[in-house]
Chain A
Amino acid sequence: MSEIIKLSSPSDFESLREKIIKGRDPNRTAVAVCSGPGCLAYASGKVFKRFEEALSAAGLEGEVTLAQTGCHGFCERGPSVVILPDEICYLRVSPEDVNEIVETTLKNGAVVERLLYKGEDGLPIQKESDIPFYKYQQKVVFGDNKRIDPRSIEDYIARGGYTALVKAITTMTPEAVIAEVKDSGLRGRGGGGFPAGAKWEATAKPPADTRYVIVNADEGDPGAYMDRGILEGNPHSVIEGLMIGGYAIGANEGYIYVRQEYPLAIDNVLYALDVLRELGLLGENILGTGFSFDIIVHKGAGAFVSGESSALMSAIEGRVGEPRPKYIRTSISGLRGKPSCLNNVETWANVPLIINKGANWFKSIGTEGSKGTKIFSLVGNVKNTGLVEVPMGMTLRQIIFDIGGGIRDDKEFKAVQTGGPSGGVIPEEMLDLHVDYDELYSAGSMMGSGGMIVMDKDTCMVNVAKYFLEFLSDESCGKCVPCRDGIDQLLEVLRRMTAGTARPDDLDLIEDISVMMKECALCGLGQSAPNPVLSSIKYFKDEYVAHINDKSCPGGVCKALIAYTIDVEKCIGCGKCMKVCPVNAISGDKKKPHKVNNALCVKCDSCYQECPSKVQAVTKIRQADVITAFATSEEAANE
């Protein structure tokens, strides 16, 4: 901010807002360089620097706005640069491309075709919203990211920011705010999907001198990063939501609990809070309305179980994050024993929209039981990975194939995992499932925070289940027997299966431990821990049976059960596999079929991946068959 004038009334805010909007020309050219976690990793910082230099060299600083914005979503093709107002979308932009963009597009109004997205027909697509990845999305929460510099409150205010807060605290009673949120049908975006309005109401109800509102930004689900995208890209949207919640519930203090792995999110939030305090939008008697509110940021030290509300509150109190028994509701006795309302990042970010546009608008999006949009992190073996926001009720097929572009390397689809370690896998025959809380739940999975991990045919479902149990065995707090020892023993069963030493009744043992855990574990982590195993047994039982009875791994992943061989009919003798083998287990003459020495092979999978996809001579067979093959050849030699 150039000069900070403390705002002391709603009309002060209104004149600031008018001033900001008046000073902006909507047709002015702007360069939005994505600085989301994906693009930053692809050196978008350097791209931004180059733009600074190039714009100044071209004398364009006065005419073109340059901004480092939050995540645009299409992380797979990062760094992404969007030229506004025409929304020309350049992907995989390297620092070397910048001069050309400045020269061609900014100076001469033409496009740099080679940096555009190429459609299925091979033709370039100029406008961002025409790219299939974006075309089917409905960006409500995430939409302003490319137009907002997370360090600029003016950008946020210019897009309508803080008008919802002002509307709430000047024209609505707390009860009316709660009623609006309740009416909207907004459900928690972080896990079980509990109705947010009901939670707010329950927290506002019990008599208390102090109440707290809390943002859960501990995003612990492996494979999910949408909260990071929001908090880094548009921190004010979360803060505004939290403030509205504070007003509605009667809290004067809010907490944002962010995992320390997200330093940029922490910095951007702290910066935003400082600006708000200077502006008088945070602190005592905000805009002279009598509403006082402040926000404290707490860093999480790394514990998945902290995502559980009572464990998170313990962590804020500086204690070990062990969950408390559920009968003590945090809405009655939460942080420091006071009524506390905890929602996750995306939930809070929806609140300003609901207040501004109304519950009816919000209800018009989504399905019967799940309103609004949901942001998913579409990752794994899918072509277009990234953050996607879609209306509730879109089918998995639309998300994975229309938006995600299908499976990488055009392999076969096998399953999609949703809901993180508490969720489950969904098979191909259910791709037309309409994604919402209830549909996912009845499919044996759950929404969770919105991770959507796509798996191709080269994935072993037993291995994936084992992966989740390993994760949970490390992340369980270890307090109660069902969770601590139940996960441990389940994991032993799966280790046996993947090692080829499973017992015939192992599926029964899984069943016994799992049903007990679901009802007897102390908190949600333990109760939902068997889900990844149970759901994969439900849909992929044949894979389990193959591991147990046949000692084979249909996905070709479990090292103990597989062996590599080269199909003499297919091998063209290119030698690629031989070169990549770290233990010299492959031999063969040029242009003649190669051979794998199974006694030397360490099953690193390199040859399988290196073999040209048109050839596919390297194949996986059962380890058991190798031994038999050996025996027969030895027998043959003996004869």
Chain B
Amino acid sequence: MLGRLAAVDKIIEAHGSDREGLIQILLDIQREFRWLPKEILEHVSKRLDVPINYIYNLTTFYAHFSLVPKGRHSMHVCMGTACHVRGAERLLDRTSQVLGIKPGQTSRDEKFSLDTVNCLGACALGPVMIADDEYLSNPTLEDIRRKADSCE
């Protein structure tokens, strides 16, 4: 825990301990730990002198933050309009089938998380998903399985 808090302190210092930097700080913490553990948020609350209700208001407002642990590999299926009209629902079903988890869930071994996003900004590829940092354009069941198998 101490090691984690030291990492958080480093992030806070990089942003100048300024209350205005709260969102940027939380984004970096999310990146570092893949989620926002309660102890860390309480620590941030103390360090920046921001009440905890304020921090939870923020972290439940912006879609990128997660208050539950996320898997080591993230799969995001785009639900944007262009993808919607080209079968995003079916892609989500396929991905869910391969990973054995529903959107919003993390697998028991914390290997995968499946989430939907409102637009990835890769509309010409629709329906599209992003597996870690790789965009997959309308992948088949087999494509998704191959990608999942390649994950450590």
Binding site for B on A (CB under 8 A): 37-38, 40-42, 75-76, 78, 219-225, 228, 259-262, 298-304, 315-321, 377, 379-381, 385-387, 417, 420, 451, 453, 455, 459, 464, 467-468, 471, 474-475, 477, 604-605
Contact = CB atoms under 8 A, between A and B. Distances in A.
A605 B90 CA distance: 9
Contacts of A451: 81-82, 123
B65 interface: yes
Nearest to A38: B124
A221 B119 contact: yes
A220 B62 contact: no
B56 to A, nearest CB: 10
Given A223-B119, A320-B61, 12 more contacts: A41-B134, A76-B124, A299-B24, A302-B62, A303-B61, A303-B62, A315-B23, A318-B21, A379-B126, A385-B82, A451-B123, A453-B82
Interface string B9-33: 0000000001111111011000000
Nearest to A318: B22
A386 B124 contact: yes
Interface in B108-141: 117-126, 128, 134-137
A220 B119 CA distance: 7
B111 to A, nearest CB: 23
A302 B61 CA distance: 9
Interface of B: 18-24, 26-27, 57-58, 61-65, 79-82, 84-86, 90, 93, 117-126, 128, 134-137
A224 B23 CA distance: 25
B135 A41 contact: yes
Given A38-B125, A299-B27, A605-B90, A220 B118 contact: yes
**For the complex of A and B, 9 pairs with smallest distance between CB atoms:** A41-B135, A75-B124, A301-B62, A302-B63, A222-B80, A379-B82, A223-B81, A222-B119, A318-B22
Contacts of B80: 222-223
A219 to B, nearest CB: 6
Nearest to B25: A318
B85 to A, nearest CB: 5
Contact of A40 (B58, B123, B135): B135
A604 B90 contact: yes
A379 B57 contact: no
Contact of A380 (B20, B57, B86, B134): B86
20 contacts: A37-B135, A38-B124, A42-B125, A75-B124, A75-B125, A221-B119, A225-B123, A262-B121, A299-B27, A301-B65, A303-B63, A315-B23, A317-B20, A377-B123, A379-B124, A385-B124, A459-B85, A467-B81, A468-B81, A474-B118
Given A42-B137, A417-B81, A474-B118, A260 B58 contact: no
A301 B27 contact: yes
A318 B19 contact: yes
Contact of A467 (B84, B120, B134, B135): B84
B71 to A, nearest CB: 18
B64 A260 contact: yes
B20 to A, nearest CB: 4
Contacts of A259: 121
A78 B37 CA distance: 41
A419 B62 CA distance: 23
B118 A41 contact: no
Given A42-B137, A221-B119, A302-B62, A381 B81 contact: no
Given A38-B124, A41-B137, A222-B79, A380 B23 contact: no
A581 to B, nearest CB: 14
A316 to B, nearest CB: 8
Nearest to A321: B61
Given A222-B81, A420-B81, A318 B20 contact: yes
A380 B21 contact: no
B63 A222 contact: no
Nearest to A377: B123
Nearest to A452: B82
Residue among B18, B122, B134 with the highest chain A CB neighbour number at 10 A: B122
Contacts of A455: 85
A318 B58 CA distance: 9
B65 A224 contact: no
A535 to B, nearest CB: 14
A223 B82 contact: yes
A75 B137 CA distance: 12
Contacts of A315: 23
Contact of A261 (B21, B81, B120, B136): B120
A78 B23 CA distance: 36
Contacts of A477: 61
A140 B62 CA distance: 35
B120 to A, nearest CB: 6
Given A219-B121, A223-B123, A261-B121, A298 B24 contact: yes
Residue among B20, B84, B85, B136 with the highest chain A CB neighbour number at 10 A: B85
Contacts of B79: 222, 471
B92 to A, nearest CB: 12
Contacts of A605: 90
A303 B20 CA distance: 18
A464 B89 CA distance: 13
B122 A41 contact: yes
Contact of B23 (A38, A318, A381, A385): A318
Contacts of B86: 380-381
Residue among B20, B79, B81, B137 with the highest chain A CB neighbour number at 10 A: B81
Nearest to A417: B81
Contacts of B125: 38, 41-42, 75
Contacts of B123: 223-225, 377, 379, 385, 451
A317 B65 CA distance: 17
Given A41-B135, A319-B58, A320-B61, A228 B82 contact: no
Contacts of B64: 260, 301-302
Contacts of B137: 41-42
Nearest to B137: A41
Residue among A42, A224, A261, A303 with the highest chain B CB neighbour number at 10 A: A261
A606 B61 CA distance: 37
A381 B120 CA distance: 18
Nearest to B121: A225
Contacts of A304: 118
Contacts of B57: 320
Contacts of B126: 379-380, 385
